[in-house]
Structure 1
C-alpha cells in the first residue's frame, strides 16, 4: 500500500516542476507569464493585463513580448539566452520610448543572461520529480535521492527568486530615473517561483515524516500473528 507521504510528495514535486517550467519558458512562449512589465505610458501602471490600455513590454527568461497598442497586437522577440530591449525597435516606428533608454537597456541586457538560472532550477526539479516517481513505485534508493534533489531544486528556486527581486528593483530604478516616462510592474513569474520554492521546501519534510512514521509503527500485531500461526 502506498503511503500518504509519497502521494503528497510526488504531487508537490510535480506541481513545483510544472510551475518552474512555466517560469523558465514564460514569454515569449507562455505569453501570460512574465517577470517584469514595463508600462510605456506616462507613469500610469496597470497590474491587470485585461485592463491594460497603455503600451507595454513584458520581460521573460528567454525574450520579451510587447504590445504597442497600435493595432498590431502582441509581438514577441525570438527566444534566446540574454537579450537587449533595444531589439524592441523592430516593432516601433521611430525612436524607442524613454522607458527603453540606453541606461535601462544596459542593465537589462546584462541581467537577462542570468535569468537562464530558471532553466537550471527547472532541470534539477525535473530530476527530483523522476526520483519521486521511482520512490512512489517502491525503488528504495530513489526515496533518498528524491529528497536530496528536492533540496537542490528548492535552493536553486530560492536563489533565483532572490535574483528576480533584485532584477525587478534594478530595472524599476532605471525606469524611474527616466522621469515621467513609464513604470515597472512586478510580474506573476516571481510569485510562481516563490510557490514552487515553498513546495520544494515542504516535500523533503513530507518524505522525512513518512520514513520516521514508518520506522515507528509498532510490529507487535504482526509478531502476534506469527506466533499464532506457529501454534498451529
Structure 2
C-alpha cells in the first residue's frame, strides 16, 4: 500500500517542476508568463489593463515579446541566453521608446544572462521528480535522493527568486531615472517561482513525516495483532 506522504510528495514535486518549467521557458515560448513588463504608455497602467491598452515589452528568461498596439499584435524575439532590448528596434518604425535608452539596455543585457539560472533550477527539480517517482514505486535509496534534490532545487528556486526581485528593482529604478513616462510592472513568473520554492520546501518535510510515521505504525499494528485472542 502506497503511503500518503509519497503521494503528496510526488504531487508536490511534480507541481513545482511544472511551475519552474513554465518560468524557465516563459516568453518567448510561454507568452502569458514573464518576469517583468515595461509599460511603454503613460506609466499608470496596471498589470491587468496594460494587456489591453498600453504598448508593452515583456521580459523572459530567454527573450522578450512586445505588443506596440500598432496592429501587428504580439511579436517575440528569438530565444537565446542574454538578450538586448535594442533588438526591439526591428519591430518599431523609427527610434526606440525613451524607456529603452542605452542605460536600461546596458543593465538588461547583463542581467538577462543570469536568468538562465531558472533553467538550472528547473533541471534540478526534474531530477528530484525522477527520484520521487522511483521512491513512489518502492526504490529504497530514492527516498533519500529525492529529499536531497528537493533541497537543492528549493535552494536554487529561492536564490533565483531573490535575483528576480533584484532584477525587477534595478530595471524599475533605471526606467524611473530616465524621467520619461513609463513604468516597470512585476511579472507573474516571480509568483510562480515563489510557489515552486514553497512546494519544494515542504516536500522533504512530508517525506520525513512519512518515514517517522512509517517507523511507528507497523510496530503498533503488530502489537494489536498479538493482543488478539486465538480461537
Does the TM-score normalized on the shorter chain lie above 0.5?
Answer: yes
CA distance in 2, matches of 1:55, 1:19: 27
Q: Distance in 2 between matches of 1:88 and 1:226?
A: 76
Q: State the TM-score, normalized to the length of structure 2.
A: 0.95
Supply the RMSD in Å over aligned alpha carbons: 1.8
TM-aligned CA deviation for residue 47 of structure 1: 1.0
Residue of structure 2 in register with 1:138 after alignment: 138
Partner of 1:222: 222
Contact 2:10 2:129 in 1 (8 A): yes
- Deviations along 1:57-85, whole A, 9 cap, x unmatched? 00000000000000000000000000000
Return the TM-score normalized by structure 1. 0.95
Is this contact kept in 2: 1:46–1:52, CA < 8 A? no
**2:123 equivalent to 1:123:** yes
Partners of 1:30 and 1:48 lie apart in 2 by 17
Partner in structure 2 of residue 171 of structure 1: 171
Residue 219 of structure 1: how far off its partner (Å): 2.0
Deviation at 1:46, TM superposition (A): 2.3
| Corresponding residue number in structure 1 for 2:24 | 24
Q: CA deviation at 1:26?
A: 0.2
Distance 1:49 1:160 in 2: 28
Moved more, 214-223 or 78-87: 214-223
Q: Structure 2 CA distance, aligned partners of 1:136 and 1:150?
A: 15
Name stretches of at least 5 consecutive residues in structure 1 with no aligned partner: none
Distance in 2 separating the partners of 1:103 and 1:221:
69
Q: What residue number does 1:2 align with?
A: 2
Deviations, residues 8-57 of structure 1 (Å, cap 9, x unaligned):
00000000000000000000000000000000012222211575311100
Q: Equivalent residues in 2 for 1:1-232 (5 A)?
A: 1-48=1-48, 51-217=51-217, 219-222=219-222, 225=225
Give the deviation of 1:180 after TM superposition: 3.0
Q: Where has structure 1 moved over 6 Å in runs of 4 or more?
A: 226-229
Runs of 5+ unmatched residues, structure 2? none
Distance (whole Å) between structure 2 residues aligned to residue 148 and residue 9 of structure 1: 13
